[in-house]
Amino acid sequence: MGLTLTRLWSVWVARARRRRLRSRSSSQRSVARSHSDDSSSGRGSIADESMFIDASDSLWLQHTREMPILGRGSPVASLPQDLLLRIFSFLDVVSLGRAAQVSRRWHDLALHGSNWQRVDLFEFQMAIEGYVVEQMSKRTLSLFLLSSLSSLFSSSISSSIPLPLFPPPSYNYTLSRKFCLNCPHMEKLILSKCVRITDRSCESLSKNCLNLLHLNLSSCRSITNKSCEHLGEGCNRLEHIDLSYCTVSLEGVEQLVKGCPGLRHIILTYCREIDDASLKLIGKNCKRLLSLDIKGCKRVSDRGVQALSEDCCELESLSVSNCDTLTDASLKKVAAHCHSLRILEATSCSHFSDVGFQALATGCNDLQRMDLEECSLITDQTLSSLALNCPNLQSLALSHCERITDNGIRHLVGGACFETLQVLELDNCPLITDHTLEMLR
């Protein structure tokens, strides 16, 4: 932190020196004219005057370098507050925490609200004290947005960081309530893997954070349908919700989507109680849905995906990986209604075949990324259809697709997508030989 301030101070000194030199340039020119007129009067030469100016500047620079960075007599102490805040804005959160303990003035500068517009301390993995959370939330109150509040994985306090600032997995209701009360303009909150977050935290959010747009509660295993009910009642502006690995079922989904019809991104990864009725409710209430992730929701069948596809025609991203009961009927319905689809993740959907993917390639020409790992029924016919109909394809995963051969890759190489294709995964495809490598080369 001290090194950072020293460098910033050196830059400021160099700029000040240039300004001094520019201000004296006019006086040098006037001195030169006077010497040309009175060269016989015994006055010094222009060279002597220039040497004097350079020497004075050198002494001034040496003096400023020897002056302390801290303390009342330091150059930093005499700078205006706007310039000091600008300098402090370049410090990371650890340096800000240390600077806050130098003096009262530095404490106010380091904890000024302008330095805490974005709060994301994921990398530091520190524990937290409740009063610190409360103070930090109060300082962000004057801002319009608390941009990002990420979660941590460890709960140990690092001795090298004397000011703990951020919630670990032990982040609890009392602390979350303080954030909610003091940050009514918060729009984005990430509490992933904060295992002690409960439904009471979501109740506080619904009462105090009415402008919330993005909420990540993934792996908060104490979150239940009650949280969905609270969010549906108060956070009606929600656009992005991540409830991965939470204990959520049809009842919670109903409360959530009816209260938040503007949802554009819904992530329900491995929410094992999600079923066809849940997808029907999502489609009925969230007509402008852009992405849906139901990976590992094994109770979902073709009927749920078909109902969703009919209502959510703007869908751009769909993940149905490990939904092993789905068949080509789902792909056909998606192809018929979701023409804007760009991303499909279908890992381990073992009942998908060439018939479904050919229909998808024909109906969704803007496909850019496809993960077909362990779709064991597909053959070269799928690759031929993708090469012919999907010119924007950038990533294609075919791992463990054991029926793919060199001939299928030849279709890709000669197809419209070969110019855009950047990632091609072919591990554990036993029929792929050196001929494929030669074609790709």
Per residue in 271-317, pLDDT (tens digit) is 999 999 999 999 999 999 999 999 999 999 999 999 999 999 999 99
Closest C-alpha to 376, from 347, 356, 355, 412? 347
Residue among 126, 189, 119, 188 at smallest CA distance from 152: 126
The pLDDT value given to residue 207: 86
Burial of 171 (0-12, 13-18, 19+ CB in 10 A): buried
pLDDT at 89: 84
Higher-confidence residue of 113 and 26: namely 113
**Of 287, 292, 343, whose CA–CA distance to 312 is shortest?**
287
Say whether 265 sits in a helix, a strand or coil. Answer: strand
Task: Note the pLDDT of residue 74.
Answer: 67
| Closest alpha carbon to 331 in 304, 305, 356 | 356
Report helix, strand or coil for 30.
helix
Tell me the C-alpha distance between 40 and 25, whole Å. 24
Instruction: Please write the tens of the pLDDT for every residue from 382-397.
Output: 999 999 999 999 999 9
In the structure, what pLDDT confidence band is assigned to residue 166 with cuts at 50, 70 and 90?
A: very low
DSSP state for residue 397 in the 8-state scheme: E
Is 370's pLDDT higher than 80? yes
Measuring CA to CA, how many Å separate 169 from each of 10, 63, 218, 347, 426? Answer: 42, 51, 12, 31, 39
Rounded CA gap, 345 and 368, in Å? 11
Note the residue count of the chain: 441
Handedness of CA 124, 129, 132, 137 (dihedral sign): positive
Sign of CA dihedral 414, 420, 426, 429: negative
Greater confidence (46 vs 95) lies with 95
* Cβ–Cβ under 8 Å, residues 282 and 252: no
Average pLDDT over residues 230-246: 96
Average pLDDT (335-357) is 97
d(CA 7, CA 278): 58
Buried b (16+ CB within 10 A) or exposed e, 113-122: eebbeebebe
* Mean pLDDT confidence for 37-47: 44
Could you tell me what percent of the chain has a pLDDT over 90? 48
Distance CA 415, CA 375 (A): 22
Structure-block tokens of residue 382? 């799928």
What whole-number distance in Å separates Cα of residue 130 and Cα of residue 167?
A: 9
Rounded to the nearest integer, the mean pLDDT of the chain is 78
Q: What is the pLDDT of residue 386?
A: 96
The pLDDT-based confidence of 13 (bands split at 50, 70, 90) is: low
Distances in Å between the Cα of 23 and the Cα atoms of 53, 75, 326 are: 12, 21, 78
The fraction of the chain above a pLDDT of 70, given in percent, is 67
pLDDT tens, 169-225? 444 555 566 566 656 677 888 888 877 788 888 888 888 888 889 999 999 889 999
More confident residue, 87 or 318: 318
Closest CA to 133 of 101, 99, 173, 98: 173
